[in-house]
Amino acid sequence: MQYATELETTIRDMVQTGRGILAADESTPTIAKRFIPIKVECSEENRRAWRSLLVTTEGLGEYISGIILFEETLGHNSDNGATIVETARAQNIVAGIKVDKGTTPLALSAGDLITRGLDGLAERLRSYKQQGARFAKWREVYAIGKQAPSRNGIEANAEMLARYAAVCQDEGLVPIVEPEVLMDGDHDIDRHAEVTQAVQHAVFHALQRHRVALELMILKPNMVLPGKELRRAKVDEVAAATLKVLRRTVPAAVPSINFLSGGQDPEEATANLNALNQQAPDAPWKLSISYGRALQQTALQAWLGNNENVQTAQQALLKRARLNHLAMLGQYQPSQEND
């Protein structure tokens, strides 16, 4: 592989004990939804200001090793005058880029979605790399319904993830592979586990078919949870169900599993991660985070689009990152939320 040494360096910089990934790659429509509750206009300047706030948080690099950015952010400067990428790098935070182009219905497969964006991916990756990106992320989405996801949908999405990952490694960027089984619905935790296992099984078969080096990628899966319409599961139940699926599907060669928060509130996502690490202290992979809302939510609520609130918002972000750092070590306690 042409870029093996480069990929190994990126993995080494990103996969570290007690450090995780901050997902700040919301598309313009998605970040607009995040801004609505705090009554902030979704202008380019406000998007730039928010992402500048994230990367200029002093001390964030102690707990965060990578940040996933949206395409426009690669061209933005932070408030200190350096680019967002350069500002992240100054804290030893590796910058990456979301490269998929969103979902569309999968033809002749009711209830299934497929993600767009493979056309021209290699050329785009070269451009992103020149702007400082060292890894990429691609998300496939699986909704649970009476007929979904179908076997056709599972296989088609796995093929897309594998093709994307192969192109990334061919261009020298570490791929984050994100198969997200949604928690929307009234399914129980056993149904979520069944679908998650089928999805991850198909994904790793496809990755091996496409000769993706598992040591040079990161998996970003969902935790196994009951549907949102049901009561929350206990943290030990979530951890046990999630680990059972991972042990059945994820090869030990994968260096890190960085969970998405997937609609969990910040405290719930942290507590569940902590239980995972307590139950599997000798897991063959790091059990870490790639959280978006679960890291950003309290900081957004503190910021409110007001420059006078930047320091308070950064303190909220740093606290959330520190609590997840403790959860990566299996040392988080709910009482620490009040510290």
Active site residue 178: yes
* CA-to-CA dists, residue 312 to 11, 39, 57, 307, 315, angstroms: 32, 18, 10, 10, 5
> What is the C-alpha to C-alpha distance for residues 31 and 76, in angstroms, rounded to an integer?
16
pLDDT of residue 122: 98
CB atoms within 10 A of CB 5: 10
Say how many C-beta atoms besides its own lie within 10 A of residue 23's C-beta: 28
Predicted local distance difference test score (pLDDT) of residue 230? 81
Task: Name the class of domain 4-338.
Answer: alpha beta
The residues, any chain, with a CB within 8 Å of residue 191's CB and separated by 6 or more, are 144
Q: Torsion angle, CA of 36/265/282/333, rounded to 10 degrees?
A: 120
- pLDDT for 213: 98
pLDDT at residue number 121: 98
Among candidate residues 140, 171, 178, 268, the one labeled active-site is 178
pLDDT value, residue 281: 95
Q: What is the pLDDT of residue 326?
A: 98
Which stretches of the chain are DSSP H helices? 4-14, 28-35, 44-55, 84-89, 121-130, 151-171, 189-209, 235-249, 266-279, 293-303, 310-328
What are the extents of the domains in the chain? 4-338
Residue 30 dihedral angles phi and psi, to the nearest 5°: -70, -45
Separation of alpha carbons 63 and 92, rounded Å:
10
State pTM to two decimals: 0.96
Which residue is it, tokens 């801004």? 35
CA distance 257 to 212: 16
Catalytic residue among 159, 220, 268, 286: 220
User: Cβ of 310: how many Cβ atoms within 10 Å?
Assistant: 19
Per-residue pLDDT of the chain (339 residues; tens, 9 = 90+): 899 999 999 999 999 999 999 999 999 999 999 999 999 999 999 999 999 999 999 999 999 999 999 999 999 999 999 999 999 999 999 999 999 999 999 999 999 999 999 999 999 999 999 999 999 999 999 999 988 899 999 999 999 999 999 999 999 999 999 999 999 988 999 999 999 999 999 999 999 999 999 999 999 999 999 998 887 899 999 999 999 999 999 999 999 999 999 889 999 999 999 999 999 999 999 999 999 999 999 999 999 999 999 999 999 999 999 999 999 999 999 999 998
